[in-house]
Chain A
Amino acid sequence: MGLLSKKDAKLITDPLADNNPITIQVLGICSALAITAELKASLVMSIAVLFVMGVGNVVISLMRNVIPSKIRIIVQLIVVAALVIIVDQVLKAYAYELSKTLSVFVGLIITNCIIMGRFEAFALGNGPWRSFLDGIGNALGYAVILLIVGFFRELLGAGTLFGIPVLGDPIEKTGVYSIGYENNGFMLMPPMALIVVGLIIWVQRSRNKALIED
């Protein structure tokens, strides 16, 4: 991290684990759970949030001195909505199938609480460069959880990663299936996303006792 000062680097590394937006700050959970049945959807969602958060944080930070505080929520919503429309249109143009899988959840990036939370807590009080780093850091923390959940759900549920079979062929019984393994289709059902995130929280808090709630 030669490019960044120690304080700036912390903005990126902190949200990855010890101050993770999903598992510690409890923000932005809706979309994190709903689209993680496939790794590809998780990746695209992460990139979309990365874009919206990075750009949005900079925009809000640049406007922070001219926004009247009474209407700041509406201003923030309009900025996010405009950015999300861009993402949605790009997805529809270049990845139509995927935009169908993500359905309304692209639109729900607008109400993703991580974004509003970071605007409120950081971008309204800091300069553009630091806000940008903060946005990127939090979006990466979000992405990490999404990718972990997506990885386990797709691997155990469908035996594939990014749609490519990695555990062998379930019909001809090659690979792991030859010793009697079966895909656990239940992993693809919505409730399992919650349980997987619950388990991630368990693992994380067992490793770092300081995070345990009373």
Chain B
Amino acid sequence: MEHLELFFKSIFIDNMVFAVFLGMCSYLAVSKKVATAVGLGAAVIFVLAITVPLNWLLDQYILQPGALSWLGADYIDYDLSFLSFIMFIATIATMVQLVEIVVEKFSPSLYNSLGIFLPLIAVNCAILGGSLFMQSREIETLGLALNYGISSGIGWFLAILAIAAIREKIRYSNVPAPLRGLGITFIITGLMGIGFLSFGGMLTGGDEEAPKKETTAEVIKAEDKKELANNTKVIE
């Protein structure tokens, strides 16, 4: 259940593009054609699925306050969390380099179709953001970290797929000249973001059925209160 909740939450509610704006640069630059968007999206899922669990291990056994206790009692007071940026980015850069070598060796056609975008994944904020959110949201187990990496990658994949499809079609529309290209992409992304906001109630209000028409005013009021309590809980 915990896994399922995290899975849907990272795809829809905390979608990397629409809720926290991660990986926007490549999202805008590579979304002109569906085919390249799919390639980059798949690579992002793959790299996130590797780096988030790896960084979770690093965080758990090296970086967290007191994480070095496995070295002996002397090390219990150490807090290396200020090093997390540099450790995370080093892991990511290494993994991207490794993925590049492996892909080049075993699937040259995929390697050629991804081209320059593969090394660029190292500087995609979605990848580093995944690890930093994993750290700040205090994800508890390695399994959940893997789940978080994959599902937030899927969320990013869906977003870039959708915008690429829209951009392919919008070429035939009569967009005002100054807004063509970048401007309209921004605005469409904003509108899609508003759409994704509606997923917000998916986990909090999901177990309550919508009030039926015949229910009396008191019941609605009670339900409103319950919802309010739920919402405040979420905010806390």
Contacts and interface: CB of A to CB of B under 8 A. Distances in A.
Contact of A194 (B119, B122, B128, B186): B186
B85 A111 contact: no
> Which residue of A84, A113, A190, A213 has the most chain B CB atoms within 10 A of its CB atom?
A190
Given A26-B29, A107-B132, A108-B132, A33 B86 contact: no
Contact of B197 (A110, A191, A209): A191
A86 to B, nearest CB: 10
Interface residues of A, number: 48
Contact of B122 (A27, A28, A30, A77): A77
Interface in B187-201: 187, 189-194, 197
B176 interface: yes
B82 A88 contact: yes
Contacts of B206: none
A203 to B, nearest CB: 8
Judged by DSSP, the binding face of A is helix
A201 to B, nearest CB: 4
B93 interface: yes
Contact of B186 (A73, A77, A198): A198
Contacts, number: 144
Interface string B126-137: 011100110010
B123 A113 contact: yes
Chain B interface category by residue count: 35 or more
A166 interface: no
B123 A73 contact: yes
Interface in A64-109: 73-74, 77-78, 81-82, 84-85, 88-89, 103-104, 107-108
Contacts of A192: 190
A78 B93 CA distance: 10
A26 B25 contact: yes
A108 B90 CA distance: 14
Contact of A85 (B29, B85, B136, B180): B85
Interface stretch (B2-10, B16-24, B56-64, B227-235): B16-24
A197 interface: yes
A73 B20 contact: no
A202 interface: yes
B179 A116 contact: no
Interface of A: 23, 26-31, 33-34, 73-74, 77-78, 81-82, 84-85, 88-89, 103-104, 107-108, 110-113, 116, 189-195, 197-199, 201-202, 204-206, 209, 211-214
16 contacts: A23-B182, A28-B25, A30-B22, A73-B93, A73-B119, A77-B90, A77-B123, A107-B128, A107-B132, A108-B129, A110-B85, A110-B128, A111-B89, A111-B125, A190-B193, A209-B178
Interface of B: 18-25, 28-29, 82-86, 89-90, 93-94, 97, 119, 122-125, 127-129, 132-133, 136, 176-187, 189-194, 197
